[in-house]
Amino acid sequence: MNNVLTKNQAVNDRLARFVRHGVVACMLACTAAGAMAAGQDRGPRRDEMQQQSMRERFDSRAQEPRYDQRAYEMQMREEAMRRDEQTRIERQQREENRRGGRMTPDERRDLRRQINEAGVDLYPNARRR
């Protein structure tokens, strides 16, 4: 096995390597120049234009009714009132459902038993002396 390159092969490899390095260097230089040019576009004019567009957006929002502070507060109050009314109605319905029917004899017996057990727990017999 002879790994020795001939003179022509060695020269061709060096030339190819040189060309590849040159192409890579040119690409890097172009990329750097493009980045610098893009960075120069961000001058004071662009900042001013950006601020102006932000002001215009803010002004247009201020004129829209959905961004009006008073209208927003009024809407929030109305929603709160609706929620309060809904909870009040639900509470009334629950109370009516609870009071609506009579207790069955079994339920009354269980309730008496529970009351008696609770009374025994609350008022134990005093110790006799």
Domain positions in the chain: 7-38, 68-97
Integer distance in angstroms from the first to the last C-alpha of the chain?
A: 119
d(CA 93, CA 103): 18
**47-62 pLDDT per residue, tens:** 777 777 777 776 666 5
- For range 84-104, the mean pLDDT: 82
- Neighbour-count burial of 68, counting CB atoms closer than 10 A to its CB (0-12 exposed, 13-18 middle, 19+ buried): middle
- pTM for the model: 0.28
* DSSP-derived secondary structure for 50-96: HHHHHHHHHHHHHHSGGG-HHHHHHHHHHHHHHHHHHHHHHHHHHHH
